[in-house]
């Protein structure tokens, strides 16, 4: 996949504190803090649609001068940096004999990526005063970074807790990335005599006697660098959430306490410790011809006013009272999720809206002016986007969101795994990943999802969605089409007599829509290499046989297309009926699982039902105009990968 030209490092959303200033929600920063930087990726749409809901602080950048010689970049584990920033602090501030450096990281990708913070010499860039960083699962703290150039690193790093120690460098390869298998609080500590490396409050390496490299302060520069070549579209702010530098060593108690503070921030899904902000949404759901639903969350109790209208200035308002929120997980987690419905709208009409939230203390934040369009009437053309498995990679979600926005779809169909594991203990996957990567689109284009196994307990899925009851499965009408959205996590309900089987038959019987589409997460047909048996050693089921039990209903009542994901590739079948090819009366099954999850692969041989297969991140668009259906699939560089055209007479029967 072609690597895009990256934005300058300084464009990553960043809150910077050069003095210990925190608001009520954060613990007071110790007086030892020299610099405290909070990072967030710059995920917004382009041009007139560019806005970010809520406040943001100015991002620091490398100071610009008329002319300068750039210090050569550091190669780290064989990789060159994809982003750099220098000179955030004056060198004299970093010249103490004791210090501590913190890195707070979220790593949820399966490709190796890395980041570092270093104090190095401008005159001798091969020499440095110190370096703290990580690459993949190897953590590094060094007081003589030039030593690292003498340590050969193999292509495949061990993951069994190995440690390498030199005179002044600690390298520790860990088995797990950290807390919740995602989060790492890395601390390099030097007390003037010895050095220690901490990971998530535990000491993982120590050199009792060592010393800093002597260097004049005028020759030093502070540098941060990211190594993200293996993850296209990823930004520094996706991986690194906070960097903090102290002018004194930290006690182990202070390090443990700091990790607990960061854990609490993540458990609540708060993105910043000291800023009133939206940590979810605005999120558009359930659009109809005369109404739409909105969902959003703030990081603290708040009331809200929604202003909306079909032109500006906005002429209508809805008031949402103060929410005290809910507690979860035995009081350890807090949420402040709110929703509202805008009613008495006109069909097929563009609207503008703004959410203004107000905290208990009187602070206000605004979503900015956003847009949506109500559902079209029967007989009118429309286009919708199709995506799935957005899990784990907000940087890919953001890329897909921008490309879909360019198409201006009427809504987006999501086939599940909005998150990788966003069940009750993992609220952060909604705030830090799903909404981070998608809200620039989902605040302007309504989403209609089905749950995947990633949110299979439905705990946060139901709270973050305003969908027709019972939410886990539902149907909706849009133009000349009807959509039947199923919860395939409950596969027993897909068998004859099962709850969803009975419900679906009732819905299909009474449907008068010209076009009928079904969406669920799991795959009735897929040539995946190992989800249905190891295709490299034997023949497999090539799909979920339990899910296939509901297919007779699709065939009996004339379903046109079935969308699903679960497997992180693209696949379209030839038309199938009664388990065989049938070009006249068969149903086409489309797997669209490539909007963020770790890419998977296909079986070594082509199955009888394959029309098109593609391994790579992707999204689809489907346009209905009168009796014509056009479906296209693109990769994340906007290149066409597949298309399908279908024609249907007005009263065509199955």
The tens digit of pLDDT for each residue in 584-622 reads 999 999 999 999 999 999 999 999 999 999 999 999 999
Q: How much is the pLDDT for 23?
A: 34
Give the alpha-carbon dihedral of 575, 580, 584, 586, to 10 degrees: -50
CATH class of 376-647: alpha beta
Tokens linked to 405 = 């926005």
Confidence of residue 462 (pLDDT cuts 50, 70, 90): very high
The answer to whether the beta carbons of residues 438 and 45 sit under 8 Å apart is: no
pLDDT mean across residues, the chain: 91
Fold of 276-375: Immunoglobulin-like (2.60.40)
Q: How much is the pLDDT for 19?
A: 36
Map out the domains of the chain as residue ranges.
12-40+76-267, 276-375, 376-647
Q: How much is the pLDDT for 9?
A: 37
Cβ contacts of residue 65 below 8 Å, gap of 6+? none
What does the alpha-carbon distance between residue 397 and residue 595 come to, in Å, rounded to a whole number? 6
Residue 386 has pLDDT above 90, yes or no: yes
190 sits in which H/E element: strand 183-190
Q: Is 112 strand, coil or helix?
A: coil
Question: Where does 12-40+76-267 sit in CATH, by number?
Answer: 2.60.120.200
Angle between helices 394-407 and 435-442 (to 10 degrees): 10
What does the alpha-carbon distance between residue 202 and residue 204 come to, in Å, rounded to a whole number? 6
Q: How much is the pLDDT for 54?
A: 83
Distance between first and last Cα of the chain:
41
Q: How much is the pLDDT for 22?
A: 31
Which has more confidence, 636 or 144?
A: 636
CB count in 10 Å sphere of residue 124: 13
Measuring CA to CA, how many Å separate 100 from each of 127, 179, 197, 270, 535? 19, 21, 10, 25, 51
* Average pLDDT rounded to a whole number, residues 380-395: 98
Buried b (16+ CB within 10 A) or exposed e, 251-268: eeebbbebbeebbbbbbb
Measuring CA to CA, how many Å separate 201 from each of 81, 102, 143, 250, 401? 28, 11, 21, 12, 37
What does the alpha-carbon distance between residue 486 and residue 502 come to, in Å, rounded to a whole number? 12
What does the alpha-carbon distance between residue 389 and residue 394 come to, in Å, rounded to a whole number? 11
Convert the pLDDT of each residue in 149-188 to its tens digit.
Answer: 877 775 444 445 677 888 899 999 998 888 999 999 999 9
Q: How much is the pLDDT for 147?
A: 85
Residue 18 has pLDDT above 50, yes or no: no
Cβ neighbourhood burial of 5 (10 Å; 0-12, 13-18, 19+): exposed
What does the alpha-carbon distance between residue 346 and residue 376 come to, in Å, rounded to a whole number? 9
Q: How much is the pLDDT for 44?
A: 93
Question: Which range (115-124, 307-316, 368-377) has the least confidence?
Answer: 115-124
Tokens linked to 101 = 């450096």
Q: How much is the pLDDT for 11?
A: 34
Convert the pLDDT of each residue in 26-76 to its tens digit.
Answer: 566 778 899 999 999 989 999 999 988 888 766 666 777 787 777 888 999
Phi first, then psi: what are they for 402, rounded to 5°? -65, -40
Which has more confidence, 3 or 480?
A: 480
Measuring CA to CA, how many Å separate 79 from each of 199, 393, 464? 23, 21, 39
Q: How much is the pLDDT for 335?
A: 98
Question: Which range (145-149, 180-184, 428-432) has the least confidence?
Answer: 145-149
- Among candidates 473, 453, 430, 420, which has minimal Cα distance to 283? 430
What does the alpha-carbon distance between residue 624 and residue 24 come to, in Å, rounded to a whole number? 52
The answer to whether the beta carbons of residues 319 and 309 sit under 8 Å apart is: no
- Percent above pLDDT 70 for the chain: 90
What does the alpha-carbon distance between residue 161 and residue 16 come to, in Å, rounded to a whole number? 34
Residue 647 has pLDDT above 60, yes or no: yes
* Average pLDDT rounded to a whole number, residues 243-247: 95
Cβ contacts of residue 344 below 8 Å, gap of 6+? 290, 291
Residue with tokens 């394959």: 610
Confidence of residue 347 (pLDDT cuts 50, 70, 90): very high
Cβ contacts of residue 229 below 8 Å, gap of 6+? 3, 79, 80, 82
Q: How much is the pLDDT for 194?
A: 95
Q: How much is the pLDDT for 95?
A: 66
What does the alpha-carbon distance between residue 231 and residue 1 come to, in Å, rounded to a whole number? 10
- Among candidates 550, 475, 461, 555, which has minimal Cα distance to 507? 475
Confidence of residue 488 (pLDDT cuts 50, 70, 90): very high
Confidence of residue 517 (pLDDT cuts 50, 70, 90): very high
Confidence of residue 125 (pLDDT cuts 50, 70, 90): low
CB count in 10 Å sphere of residue 190: 24
Which pTM was predicted?
Answer: 0.93
What does the alpha-carbon distance between residue 202 and residue 188 come to, in Å, rounded to a whole number? 12
């Amino acid at each position: 996949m072609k690597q895009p030209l990256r934005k300058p490092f300084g464009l990553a959303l960043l809150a910077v504190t050069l003095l210990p200033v925190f608001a009520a929600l954060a613990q007071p920063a110790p007086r030892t803090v020299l610099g405290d930087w909070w990072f967030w990726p710059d995920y917004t749409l382009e041009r007139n649609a560019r806005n970010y809901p809520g406040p943001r602080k100015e991002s620091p950048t490398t100071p610009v001068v008329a002319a300068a010689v750039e210090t050569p970049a550091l190669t780290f584990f064989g990789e060159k940096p994809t982003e750099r920033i220098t000179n955030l602090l004056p060198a004299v501030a970093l010249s103490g004999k004791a210090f501590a450096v913190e890195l707070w990281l979220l790593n949820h990708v399966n490709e190796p990526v890395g980041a570092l913070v270093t104090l190095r010499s401008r005159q001798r860039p091969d020499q440095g005063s110190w370096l703290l960083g990580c690459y993949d699962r190897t953590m590094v703290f060094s007081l003589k970074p030039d030593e690292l150039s003498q340590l050969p690193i193999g292509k495949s790093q061990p993951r069994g807790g190995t440690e390498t120690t030199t005179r002044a460098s600690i390298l520790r390869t860990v088995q797990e990335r950290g807390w919740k298998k995602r989060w790492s609080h890395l601390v390099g500590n030097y007390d003037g005599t010895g050095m220690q490396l901490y990971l998530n409050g535990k000491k993982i390496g120590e050199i009792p006697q060592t010393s800093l490299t002597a260097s004049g302060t005028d020759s030093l520069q502070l540098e941060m660098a990211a190594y993200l070549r293996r993850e296209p579209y990823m930004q520094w702010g996706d991986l690194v959430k906070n960097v903090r530098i102290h002018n004194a060593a930290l006690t182990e108690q202070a390090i443990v306490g700091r990790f607990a503070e960061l854990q609490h921030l993540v458990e609540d899904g708060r993105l910043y410790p000291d800023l009133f902000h939206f940590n979810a949404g605005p999120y558009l759901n359930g659009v109809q011809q005369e109404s739409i639903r909105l969902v959003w969350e703030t990081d603290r109790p708040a009331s809200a006013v929604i202003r909306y209208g079909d032109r500006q200035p906005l002429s209508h308002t809805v008031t949402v009272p103060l929410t005290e929120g809910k507690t979860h997980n035995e009081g350890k987690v807090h949420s402040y999720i709110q929703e509202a419905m805008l009613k008495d709208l006109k069909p097929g009409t563009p609207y503008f809206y703004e959410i203004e939230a107000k905290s208990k203390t009187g602070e206000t934040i605004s979503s900015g002016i956003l847009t949506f369009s109500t559902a079209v009437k029967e007989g009118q053309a429309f286009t919708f986007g199709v995506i799935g498995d957005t899990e784990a990679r907000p940087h890919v979600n953001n890329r897909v969101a921008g490309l879909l926005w360019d198409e201006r779809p009427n809504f987006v169909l999501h086939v599940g795994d909005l998150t990788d594991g966003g069940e009750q203990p993992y609220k952060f996957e909604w705030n830090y990943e799903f909404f981070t990567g998608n809200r620039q689109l989902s605040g302007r284009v309504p989403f209609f999802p089905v749950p995947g196994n990633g949110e299979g307990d439905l705990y946060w899925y139901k709270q973050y969605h305003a969908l027709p009851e019972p939410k886990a499965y539902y149907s909706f009408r849009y133009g000349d089409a009807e959509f039947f959205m199923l919860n395939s996590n409950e596969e027993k309900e897909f068998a004859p007599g099962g709850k969803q089987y009975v419900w679906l038959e009732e819905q299909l019987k009474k449907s008068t829509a010209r076009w009928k589409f079904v969406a669920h997460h799991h795959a009735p047909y897929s040539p995946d290499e190992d989800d249905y048996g190891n295709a490299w050693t034997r023949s497999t089921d090539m799909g979920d046989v339990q899910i296939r039990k509901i297919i007779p209903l699709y065939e009996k009542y004339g379903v046109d297309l079935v969308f699903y994901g679960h497997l992180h590739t693209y696949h379209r079948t030839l038309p199938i009926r009664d388990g065989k090819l049938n070009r006249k009366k068969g149903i086409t099954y489309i797997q669209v699982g490539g909007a963020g999850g770790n890419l998977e692969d296909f079986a070594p041989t082509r199955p009888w039902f394959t029309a098109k297969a593609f391994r790579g991140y992707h999204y689809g668009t489907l346009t209905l105009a009168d009796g014509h259906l056009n479906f296209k699939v693109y990769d994340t560089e906007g290149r066409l990968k597949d298309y399908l055209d279908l024609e249907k007479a007005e009263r065509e029967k199955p």
